[in-house]
Chains A and B, each alone.
Chain A
Amino acid sequence: MRLSITNLQVSFGERRVVDLAELAVGEAEIVGLAGDSGSGKSVTTLAVLGLAHTVGATVSGSIRLDGAELTGLSHREMREVRGRRIAAIFQSPALAFSPVYRVGSIVHRALRLHGMTRAEAAEAAERAMRQVLLPPGLLDRYPSQLSGGQLQRVAIALALALHAEVLLADEPTSALDVTVQAEVLELLRELRDRERMSVLFISHDLAVVAELCDRVAIMQHGSIVEQGPTSQVITAPASPYTAELLASVPRLAAGAGQ
């Protein structure tokens, strides 16, 4: 397993918000973590990134990346992991890019921070842009000149350029238009197959999870109430909570097929 989480507990003072028995992501696998607002999905992301302390939470349990324990690492050691070995993309790509720098300079700086030379960074950035099907020329633009879908793909390109072992994707398509969302989902599938990328995909949207993920874990009140192969969880949910979530998804008119 690339990423394996066991007995993870995240608390704010006395209040435990995550109590997660087991969750793992294998190589070339997309695993969905789905649930309502407040179910603890995003706090789990922060814990995996070693950032839970920044919101005042304490973490216990085990988070292993390729077998090596992350929870005991110092902040300095964790910085080597975060961004490079575990990359993350978030709901609003616009907030992830400083508006005053060109996209390319943001990408280059991140690559150089993680040890590349100037020349290596430039080359890696261009190659990664092509991998996410963007013209490298976009690197010369400012973030405001790119669409949300393009920026999200640049964020994914950064993860590729750094050869991240795991991509944490926290609601990465929730702010995108549906046709753009379809493109980003298609890209994630391609990267899984072509680059053997591992993705933990966090979403409230079960329809997206159902289409994209190989396996899915359903989270409620900080715990996983059900997990398994996506088709099984979706077609025969074992937990009433999963069934309730599924029933909440608006459906297109019956028979609306071509």
Chain B
Amino acid sequence: MSEVDLIEGFRDPEHMKALAALIKKECKSKINIMEVCGGHTHTIMKFGLSQILPEFIEFVHGPGCPVCIMPKERIDHAIALASMPNTILATLGDMIRVPGSKTSLQKLRAEGKDIRSLYSPLDVIKIAQENPDKNVVFFAIGFETTTPMSAVLMQHTIENKLTNVFFHINHVTVPEAVEAIMGDGNALIDAFLGPSHVSVITGYKIYEPIAEKYHTPIVVAGFEPTDVMESVLRIVRQVNEGKSVVDNEYARAVSREGNLKAQALVNTYFEKRTHFRWRGIGDIPNSALKLRAEYAAFDAEIVFDDVLPKTELNDHKLCICGDILKGRAKPFDCKVFGKACTPTNPMGSCMVSSEGACSAYFKYGKLNLKGARA
């Protein structure tokens, strides 16, 4: 088995067809399945799984896109930090494109500010060493998958005795987000596809309280299309048997306990915040991390507190991302979807990053979906 088999072996059209047929045969009632993770949204849209699955399997797109859920005021934090003199702001991925209240990091970079889009957090070390007279601020984003990497960066920062590296921590956690969605009893969700790579780090034990409290099956699914299809089949079978347990489809990468070394590293440097605002959802207690007090000297929110804006900013009232995230609406239900709100001009969290539900629908989904407009 090669790594090609590990990717393409889980995309075999014959397997997909057979799994779809089996799901169609066994599914006896409508099931709303929330895929928490943006990567799963991507898989579902790119491979057109909604078209292959029977109509009574419906996907609800969850808040698993760490860029999407970043409230505008914190994007403005990034802009404020990047605007400081003698500062290099570094971050990962899509963050550069996301607009704050007035501008984006990408636009700021075009105006001459030093803003770096990194492929790995560890690049910060080299940048800091090459620019000893500058402040290097790492704007850290991501769910539990990416938090350990920030922890290792902290470790390297300390080992290298760097005093010009600072962290703005926006790491968030999955279980509390799911809790927030299910908590008011209004969500129309019957089961969950558990995130693939969050689970690699945390282990699938973190979902057990949710399955028990809300009686929803949770199947931890791999990223490939057959992983998702098989996980849907397992959900169907649990529903048929009246079960609601955590099941691990992604056994080749996920265990119950997860990566203990990564978890220990995270615990060394970070602790939970009591509150954190999620764009589109609002405040979710204990859902985000910050640096521990003993590392305050590295905490950009403390060190540069005076430049950081404090006002909370809400989205346009036509934006229905909050309902989309709870499974109560689809992107096509939104009046501004594809018109005033597009990937280049996002108005709300779901359109912001390529993993957001609205963005995925915009790119892949305008064909053959319920309520689709060409």
- Whether A associates with B in a native complex is no
